[in-house]
A and B are shown apart, each in its own frame.
Chain A
Amino acid sequence: MWIWFHKLASPPHFYRIAGRVIPWFGWPALLLILFGLYGGLVLAPMDYQQGEGFRIFYVHVPSAIMSMFIYSIMAVAAGIGLIWRMKLAHAVAAASAPIGAWITFCALATGSLWGKPMWGTWWAWDARLTSELILLFLYLGYIALRSSIEDPQRADRASAVLALVGVINLPIIHYSVVWWNSLHQGSTMFNPGAMSIQMKWPALVMLLGFMLYYGAVLFVRLRAEVIRRERNAAWLREELGQ
């Protein structure tokens, strides 16, 4: 088993396997997202209070959940890279950061577009929104730190420390609606009684689609990282057809 694992982490192997795996993530992701869109925009009933405007839920909630999910992957990968000095783990963290940052931006923007008709304001400085904004800053800080350190090994390890320090923000985001009197509504996805399955299912489909999407895009970026970090010419030459 360990032999398989070590093999996987070896750059040429990983590069090729990743190349084969990507379509298996990408196409199902596309189908799931399209299905989720159809479910959310057409099939799901409209909300009693919020009418059709409620449908933003189906892009807002998957984005928000993914923003935290990707950060946790990033932090775990960073930790693994730091402790076991695995280059591939560092590459996973590096590749995840831009995806996570964009998804966080989506969560904030769709939330804002939902907030304006529902609460009457584009923004409120309540605990959940503020901590999600801090999450975006953490992503950006991570990317900035990486790009400002020239030595790749030091960049890997420094940004790994930063990613781990920022983990404390995740429980704050998640529990903010429980701990504080928040403008943002309470947990619907993780609360069994909060929403009927009729309304919930497109969000679950979208979430699954987003996760597979993340996997596909991550693997593409990982292939780029592997090439960028690789000094050994032999397999590269063969791969690039020289």
Chain B
Amino acid sequence: MRAAGLMEAGALLYARDVKLAFRRWEQVTQPVVFFLMVTTLFPLALSPDTAQLRQVAAGVVWVAALLSALLALEFMFRSDYEDGTLEQLVLCGQPLWWLALVKAAAHWTVSGLPLVVTSPLVAASLAVPGEAQWTVVASLALGTGILSFLGSVGAGLTLGVRRGSVLLSLLVLPLAMPALIFGARAVDMAIMGDSGRGPLMLLSAMLILSVTLGPFATSAALKVSME
């Protein structure tokens, strides 16, 4: 038997995670349904007037997406932690930061990506004009990615803690606020007819930062939680 290379191990883990997630179909759909329902709350609570909706649309879409992605975050390591797989991953000899990166990427695929795909529908329901749609999708693609990678640190730290999901939100939200600020700003600018490129560039930088540094923090967190 030969030891698996980085790419091979990564591909295996990624495929496994994605397959497992689709077996528990509710874990994939619940955040999306939450996303749809939360955004529906705002026209009901505020006013169905399209001009007014358009003003708050950027913020509402982003906050709803953030909360939905948060919901999905606690599942990143939970089932592996409970059935012992996580221990195997820590011990298996592959660099843990790489495995953490792959897991976060898989998590984004099954939880962030569905939100991104649903977002045009949600945005349209909030009277976002067609030209701004692409900015909505782009900003959320970047933002949910940031959340998966940053959030993996929090998920790793709160493993097995009582009421861990509340604590997880408490820890991840402050770190997610800058992404929220720029993401919502990008969409807002697009709605008003300007280009949202500036904030989108900043979001991309944040994503690069979280993808490169996040996995190291996550692997440290996992090692702490598994001691």
Residues of A bordering B, CB below 8 Å? 82, 130, 134, 137-138, 140-141, 144-145, 148-149, 153-154, 157-158, 161-162, 164-166, 169, 172
Contacts and interface: CB of A to CB of B under 8 A. Distances in A.
A162 B224 CA distance: 11
Given A130-B181, A145-B158, A166-B175, A140 B217 contact: no
A164 B158 CA distance: 16
Contacts of B18: none
A154 B178 CA distance: 29
A130 B174 CA distance: 10
B71 interface: no
A135 B182 CA distance: 18
B170 interface: yes
B174 to A, nearest CB: 4
A165 B153 contact: yes
8 contacts: A130-B181, A145-B171, A153-B227, A161-B153, A161-B220, A161-B224, A165-B175, A165-B217
Interface of B is mostly: helix
B178 A172 contact: yes
Contact of A130 (B157, B164, B177, B217): B177
B24 interface: no
A157 B225 CA distance: 9
A158 B218 CA distance: 11
B173 A137 contact: yes
Contacts of A153: 227
B45 interface: no
B23 interface: no
Given A82-B220, A145-B157, 6 more contacts: A130-B181, A148-B158, A158-B225, A161-B157, A161-B220, A169-B174
A167 B36 CA distance: 35
Contact of B171 (A130, A134, A141): A141
B2 interface: no
B167 interface: yes
Contacts of A169: 174
B193 to A, nearest CB: 21
Given A145-B158, A148-B161, A154-B224, A161 B217 contact: yes
B162 A148 contact: yes
Contacts of B161: 148-149
B189 interface: no
